[in-house]
């Protein structure tokens, strides 16, 4: 198996306790191979737990089941890795005879496949995935939040007890941002929005900004959305309308898709308010990243977001429980925006936006509380302690 270890030089550590880890591997370092090199996995690889070495694997082939389709990249890829001790499948199950663990933001991710484009009943998909997780070489099902863990039963209908302790909740982590990049000036306010434009509430962010700029003409909005991949909607006229607004509206600059390093070193440090009034979300890592810079955030109370943000304390949340967002935006696709929902969301974003623009003290209070959450609940120190134990336990019981 070929892998890329550029992101993670080996770390030398003390030997593993032989009483806790019978038959340890020859090296004291545990080698873990990721199946996907997305942004969060790269961030983890740059901040490894002590005694853990990360690399990125390439599948032997896309899938052993050529008729299986999925919108998730690398779904059911086949991996066999002799040069790592453990494989961590990210967001998607794999097929392998090696020891492996799987990390998910929602149990639906594990079941997101079809048969040659034809739908498969959920019960059959869940049963197949559950069979994979029951095999001896599968060691841990890691959920990114408590809400994700609850989806095991709410979406999958699986009693966690049937996993016999193979399940765990481990929050993602964000790098610690230097104090000199956390600042609250008296300049004109700069707002920021990024990601899947329609699903994450870009319509409401832009419309609320347009209204707010009439009251506060000096404010600006930076958008990072790629026209080719971030404007997903079946409503062509709405897509054209907002692409035009981003190109012509005063105060708005769309940078398109930028690198993660540019995001972390240039955009976030220059942001006063982060907007993510998302309609449907499995976690919300961008919120944690913004909070790591002490930036006050505006979002919704969907799924795991209340585990990240305490409304009114570490961020401002819009209550969307009066709308069935799971039904309205099935499959994470915004086919249309109901008028009542659209107006409700825009009004709420505008209200929260004005509160933050008008009060430096509120921005600082919420931003500092969010910063504390990012540095504790979502710190690498906390995550790495837990994950190191999971990795070592996974390789302890050799089959």
- Is 51's pLDDT higher than 90? yes
Question: Looking at the structure, do residues 44 and 111 belong to the same domain, yes or no?
Answer: yes
CA atoms of 20 and 392, how far apart (whole Å): 9
pLDDT above 90 for 21: no
User: Residues 122, 219: one domain?
Assistant: no
Residues 6+ positions from 335 with CB-CB distance below 8 Å? 233, 234, 235, 329
CA distances for 248 relative to 243, 245, 383, angstroms? 9, 5, 43
7 has a pLDDT exceeding 70: no
Question: So what's the pLDDT on residue 376?
Answer: 98
- On whether both 85 and 205 belong to a single domain, the answer is no
Residue given tokens 């995001």 in the structure block: 263
Q: What is the pTM of this model?
A: 0.89
Nearest Cα neighbor of 56 from 41, 68, 70 is 41
Give the count of beta carbons closer than 10 Å to the beta carbon of residue 359. 12
- Provide the domain count of the chain: 2
CATH of the domain at 24: 3.40.50
pLDDT tens-digit profile of 75-131? 788 998 889 999 999 988 999 999 999 999 999 999 999 888 899 999 999 999 999
Together in a domain, 299 and 350: yes
Please tell me which of 16-25, 70-79, 115-124, 150-159 the model is most confident about, judged by mean pLDDT.
150-159
- For 366, the domain range is 179-376
The answer on 195 and 112 residing in a single domain is no
The mean of the pLDDT values for the chain is 90
Same domain, 133 and 212: no
List own/partner pairs for 384-388 with CB under 8 A and 24 or more apart: 384/47, 384/48, 384/49, 384/50, 384/52, 384/173, 385/49, 386/168, 386/170, 387/49, 387/52, 387/170, 388/30, 388/49, 388/50, 388/51, 388/52
Same domain, 239 and 356: yes
Q: How many CA atoms lie within 13 A of 185 on its CB side?
A: 10
Q: For residue range 197-236, what is the model confidence (pLDDT) as tens digits?
A: 999 999 999 999 999 999 999 999 999 999 999 999 999 9
pLDDT tens digits, one per residue of 67-90? 778 777 777 889 988 899 999 999
Whether residues 169 and 238 share a domain: the answer is: no
Cα 257-305-77 angle, rounded to 5 deg: 60
Instruction: Name residue 341's beta-bridge partners.
Output: none
Which value, to the nearest 10 degrees, does the dihedral of the CA atoms of residues 265, 267, 273, 277 take?
Answer: -110
Half-sphere exposure of 31 (CA within 13 A, CB side): 17
- Name the least confident of 71-85, 258-272, 338-352: 71-85
According to the model, what pLDDT value does residue 13 have? 30
Identify the CATH number of the domain in which residue 345 sits.
Answer: 3.40.50.2000
> pLDDT category, 26, cuts 50, 70, 90?
very low
pLDDT for the residue numbered 242: 98
Q: Residues in the chain, how many?
A: 399
**Can you name the residues that pair with 86 across neighbouring β-strands?**
32
Domain match, 104 and 34 both: yes
Summarize pLDDT for 278-309 with one digit per residue, the tens. Answer: 999 999 999 999 999 999 999 999 999 999 99
Sign of CA dihedral 216, 222, 226, 229: negative
194 and 340 together in one domain = yes
- Looking at the fold, whether 349 and 391 belong to one and the same domain comes out as no
Dihedrals phi, psi of 148, to nearest 5 degrees? -65, -40
CA distances to 108, 152, 153, 234, 304 from 146, rounded to whole Å, are 14, 10, 12, 32, 7
Structure tokens at 393: 């336990």
**Do 219 and 80 share a structural domain?**
no
């Amino acid at each position: 198996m070929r892998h890329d270890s550029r992101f993670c030089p080996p770390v030398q550590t003390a030997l593993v306790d032989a009483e806790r880890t019978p038959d340890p591997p020859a090296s004291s370092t545990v080698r873990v191979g990721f199946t996907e090199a997305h942004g969060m996995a790269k961030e983890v690889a740059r901040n490894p737990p002590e005694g853990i070495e990360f690399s990125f694997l390439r599948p032997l082939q896309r899938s052993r089941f050529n008729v299986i389709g999925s919108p998730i990249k690398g779904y059911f890829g086949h991996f066999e890795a002799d040069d790592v001790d453990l494989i961590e499948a990210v967001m998607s199950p794999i097929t392998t005879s090696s020891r492996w663990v799987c990390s998910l933001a929602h149990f639906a991710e594990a079941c997101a496949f079809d048969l040659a484009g034809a739908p498969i009943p959920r019960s059959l998909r869940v049963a197949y995935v559950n069979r994979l997780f029951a095999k001896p070489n599968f060691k841990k099902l890691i959920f990114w939040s408590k809400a994700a863990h609850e989806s095991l039963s709410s979406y999958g209908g699986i009693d966690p007890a049937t996993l016999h302790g193979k399940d765990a909740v481990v929050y993602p982590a964000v790098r610690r941002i230097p104090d000199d990049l956390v600042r609250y000036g008296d300049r004109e306010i700069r707002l920021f929005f990024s990601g899947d434009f329609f699903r994450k509430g870009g319509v409401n962010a832009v419309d609320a900004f347009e209204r707010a700029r009439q009251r506060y003409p000096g404010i600006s909005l930076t958008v990072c959305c790629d026209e080719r991949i971030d404007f997903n909607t079946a409503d062509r006229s709405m897509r054209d309308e907002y692409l035009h607004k981003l190109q012509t509206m005063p105060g708005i600059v769309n940078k398109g898709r930028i690198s993660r390093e540019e995001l972390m070193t240039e955009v976030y440090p220059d942001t006063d308010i982060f907007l993510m009034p998302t309609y449907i979300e499995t976690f919300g890592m961008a919120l944690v990243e913004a909070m790591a810079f002490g930036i006050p955030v505006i979002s919704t109370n969907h799924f795991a977001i209340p585990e990240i943000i305490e409304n009114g304390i570490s961020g401002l949340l819009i209550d969307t429980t009066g709308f069935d967002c799971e039904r309205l935006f099935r499959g994470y696709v915004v086919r249309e925006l109901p008028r009542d929902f659209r107006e409700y969301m825009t009004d709420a974003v505008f209200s929260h936006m004005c509160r933050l623009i008008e009060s430096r003290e509120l921005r600082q209070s919420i931003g500092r509380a969010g910063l504390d959450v990012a540095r504790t609940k979502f710190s690498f120190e906390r995550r790495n302690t837990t994950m190191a134990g999971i990795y070592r336990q996974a390789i302890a019981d050799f089959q």
